[in-house]
Structure 1
Amino acid sequence: MTAEWIELRGVNTHNKGAHLMMIAVANRLQGRAKLTVSPNGSDFDDRGALGFHQTLLLNQLPAVSGAVGGLIPGSVKDAFGLVASKDVGGVLDAAGFAYSDSFSIQRSKREAKISAAWKKRGVPRVFLPQAFGPFTNPEQAKWTRELLDGAALVYARDRQSLDYVTALGAKTEVRLAPDFTIGLKPGSIPSPLTGEFGAIVPNAKMLSHTKLSLEEYTQFLADGAAEFRAQGLRAVVVVHEHNDRALAKALSERSEVEIFESPDPLVLKRVLSDARIVVASRFHALVSALSSRTPVVALGWSHKYAELLEDFGAGAWMTDGSDAIAARIRHTLTDTETAARLDARVPELLAQNERMWTEVESVLGIRS
């Protein structure tokens, strides 16, 4: 029997990668399942436009909000698009990357307790493809293990993450599947940019999670912008997360590059698909570019970046920032061998996603 309400967890609309995951779930399940999402981190208009109701379960006070939500009359909930936690019959976790030494133990602990309560009621929780680990912190390992033990099915989106999760010794089966936003298309959205351009997507985590200084990282990106111009391309910095605006401004002031931002992540995907080349440190900006067959130069802060490029057959386009970005850009623009592998890999990854969704829908009792 299909679960009455499917709760989507771990997403928001401020990070455009997370927003893309919301859109992917809505596109796949809308009309066949009733979807709801926590108000934490997601804007009312954006989640409403995708057909999501609002779960009465706040991260700050899960027990209290869950209990209070259960007391609200059904007519009131229906009138305001609200869903009580007790009415949730299935859960999808689309956190992307949240369970690791790199993030707070409190989140894993909170989610483990919520998940245990759902499991006691027979509510299946499925972890959609995401990155995990490492887990050298015993507390993080403990709570993540308990969280995954409460799941019905877990997908890691790369082999390194699969190894990290397997080493935890969780009881739930863990399978491998690629990122599930690969198939999203900007469709008929017109490009807001004209002419040939190269896109730069910064990431503030490169400063907080690596040894790079602001000066070093900004210079790296500025050198990329200079090489774009040498190649006859406009240089555009694309903001993929609101926390990256300060970096975008610093780069714009240093290199006189224009800044592009949109609340719609599919508009951003249109821009990245239209770019001649993308230099990026945001994971889902790289997914959007690679799935559109746009060449990239990737510089990241965790294992998930190199694993992503390997998925697309584009490992040669990964850099650790130690070599000259200008040479990297020139090589990538003429690297027909990697481009051919990328072109062949996209349909294979889409087929893997289709198999993943079929399995997920079976676990949740969602019929075609």
Structure 2
Amino acid sequence: MSPTKDVHKIAIIGSALSGNKGAAAMLESAVQTLGERLGDVEFTLLSMYPAEDRAQNPYDNLDVVAANPRQLGVTINSLALAYRLLPPLRKTIVRRSRAIRALVEADVLLDQGGITFTDGREKFLLYNVASILPAINVKTPVFKCAQAVGPFQNPINRAASKVFLPKADTLVTRGRLTHEFAEGLGLTNLYAGADYAFSLEMSGTEREEVSQHFDLSFFDGGDVVGVCPSVVLQKKVDARGGDYAAQMVGFIEHLQAQGKRVALIPHSVRTGTHKTHNNDLPLCRDIYARLDRSADVLFVDREMTSQQLRYVIGQCGLFVASRFHAMVSSLAMAVPTLVIGWSHKYREVLEMFELEDWAFGHDKLTPEYLAERYADLEAARGDVQAKLDQHLPEVKARSVAQADLIAALVHGE
């Protein structure tokens, strides 16, 4: 626990400022909402991309500490275990390791992994465990912010989940399916919430900031269709013999042929690298290069902040998303949305708006089916808009409620 009671200390893992702007939205939502509730707070982000996150860090009270997968899995976890088993070495470990010091002094560790402990993602299971085990070993409470978990049919995932998920103080489920999976595992440390990114507040300066790079008159005088591709979907579609980029090109050309304007928006971008992990920009550049370079396509060709992206998405009349948090941003801005997804995490969020029928799996993706579902959305736009307007306040309330839970945990309530 923090030795200075006037200053609360919170450690965060699983999110970032750079790369995936959904992770940035979750992180910044926590900084905003907890600052309002706790007053003087010092945050430490255990970062997978420390140099990139430091370069984009606008917060004086947010420190960024290196915790890439190797550092986290080997160094940080080993030191945390040594801290637990060898009390005489604790002062030395804390003095020499910024990560361990942040965990030991923290009132709570926020795990902001968007989807953890789920069947089909066993290759990430070690990381899911490694993210929370150091805090468990130094006896800092773990609060798993709203995320998807389960299903738990795979024996390895089920065994790990039964061991480690009960050790969290709280697991916030971000949808009905996750909650049912977690209850079926016997978990009782649950709160039915909504994704933390729904709590993200805009600063009011986004239009001015975005207009420095793009002519926002593009959005004037009629509907713009936002299209957000995903390299995760590309890998899944291409692995079964498809051509995801070509399908996205064909869909955008279909919209152009109907006289639509299109905003091509990567929601996960890492500046200065061609690597595709957490980086949709190379894919979007490929898609844009294949298109007729007419004035009816706006390509967001650079990394922007989560608030700036949310502003741009909010200017669209309709939205087609393959990135989960691009979907969250479009729903948060009450933009009717069609989703191409790969897990239950999309559908369960749309369920909160009674809009679950507007998601379909990548296994159904064909140019014809995508065009058909888009036409259905366009025809049902009024009904979809009404449901967004009806349910959004409740969803935002469920999202921000986790800030109250974290504040209560920090205060020992």
Task: Establish whether residue 6 from structure 1 lines up as the match of residue 52 from structure 2.
Answer: no
CA contact (8 A) 2:49 2:66 kept: no
Closer, same or farther in 2 for the Cα pair 1:329/1:56, shift >3 Å?
closer
Give the 3-state SS of the residue equivalent to 1:71 in structure 2: helix
Task: Establish whether residue 332 from structure 1 lines up as the match of residue 377 from structure 2.
Answer: yes
Q: Which amino acid aligns with 2:133?
A: K
Q: 2-side partners of 1:9 and 1:54: how far apart?
A: 10
Choose 65-74 or 136-145, whichever is displaced more: 65-74
Closer, same or farther in 2 for the Cα pair 1:85/1:316, shift >3 Å?
closer
- Equivalent runs, 1:94-173 vs 2, <5 Å: 94-103=112-121, 104-111=124-131, 113-118=133-138, 121=139, 123-170=140-187, 172-173=188-189
Task: Establish whether residue 311 from structure 1 lines up as the match of residue 328 from structure 2.
Answer: no
| TM-score, normalised by the number of residues in structure 1 | 0.86
Task: Establish whether residue 71 from structure 1 lines up as the match of residue 92 from structure 2.
Answer: yes
Superposed displacement of residue 64, structure 1: 4.8
Superposed displacement of residue 126, structure 1: 1.0
Q: Which amino acid aligns with 1:39?
A: S
What is the match of residue 273 of structure 2? Answer: none
CA contact (8 A) 1:7 1:37 kept: yes
What is the match of residue 38 of structure 1? Answer: 46
Closer, same or farther in 2 for the Cα pair 1:214/1:90, shift >3 Å?
same
Q: CA RMSD in A?
A: 3.0
Closer, same or farther in 2 for the Cα pair 1:149/1:360, shift >3 Å?
same
Task: Establish whether residue 291 from structure 1 lines up as the match of residue 332 from structure 2.
Answer: yes
CA contact (8 A) 1:54 1:83 kept: no
The counterpart of 2:24, out of the listed 19, 23, 31, is 19
Superposed displacement of residue 210, structure 1: 5.3
Superposed displacement of residue 350, structure 1: 1.6
Task: Establish whether residue 230 from structure 1 lines up as the match of residue 257 from structure 2.
Answer: yes
Superposed displacement of residue 236, structure 1: 2.5
| Equivalent residue pairs, number | 360
Closer, same or farther in 2 for the Cα pair 1:81/1:300, shift >3 Å?
closer
Closer, same or farther in 2 for the Cα pair 1:214/1:32, shift >3 Å?
farther
What is the match of residue 342 of structure 1? Answer: 388
Q: Which amino acid aligns with 2:252?
A: A
- Equivalent runs, 1:164-243 vs 2, <5 Å: 164-170=181-187, 172-186=188-202, 187-190=204-207, 191=210, 192=214, 193-196=216-219, 197-209=224-236, 213=240, 215-242=242-269, 243=279
Give the 3-state SS of the residue equivalent to 2:148 in structure 1: strand
* Residue ranges of structure 1 left out of the alignment (5+ in a row): none
Q: Which amino acid aligns with 2:54?
A: F
What is the match of residue 289 of structure 2? Answer: 253
Q: Which amino acid aligns with 1:89?
A: D
* Residue ranges of structure 2 left out of the alignment (5+ in a row): 84-88, 270-278
CA contact (8 A) 2:44 2:65 kept: yes
What is the match of residue 357 of structure 1? Answer: 403
Q: 1-side partners of 2:406 and 2:111: how far apart?
A: 11
Q: Which amino acid aligns with 2:370?
A: I
Choose 324-333 or 268-277, whichever is displaced more: 324-333
Q: 2-side partners of 1:291 and 1:350: how far apart?
A: 8
Give the 3-state SS of the residue equivalent to 1:262 in structure 2: coil
CA contact (8 A) 2:41 2:61 kept: no
Overall identity of the aligned pairs, in %? 22
Q: Which amino acid aligns with 1:270?
A: Y
Q: Which amino acid aligns with 2:404?
A: T
| TM-score, normalised by the number of residues in structure 2 | 0.78
Closer, same or farther in 2 for the Cα pair 1:15/1:366, shift >3 Å?
farther
Q: 1-side partners of 2:322 and 2:60: how far apart?
A: 27
Choose 27-36 or 65-74, whichever is displaced more: 65-74
CA contact (8 A) 1:158 1:178 kept: yes
Q: Deviations over 1:252-284 (max 9, x none)?
A: 122245531323121111111111221110000
Give the 3-state SS of the residue equivalent to 2:196 in structure 1: coil
Superposed displacement of residue 73, structure 1: 8.6
Q: 1-side partners of 2:99 and 2:158: how far apart?
A: 37
Q: 2-side partners of 1:312 and 1:3: how far apart?
A: 38
- Equivalent runs, 1:74-89 vs 2, <5 Å: 83-89=101-107
Q: 2-side partners of 1:366 and 1:308: how far apart?
A: 31
Closer, same or farther in 2 for the Cα pair 1:35/1:341, shift >3 Å?
same
Q: Which amino acid aligns with 2:116?
A: A
Q: Which amino acid aligns with 1:53?
A: D
Higher relative helix content: 2
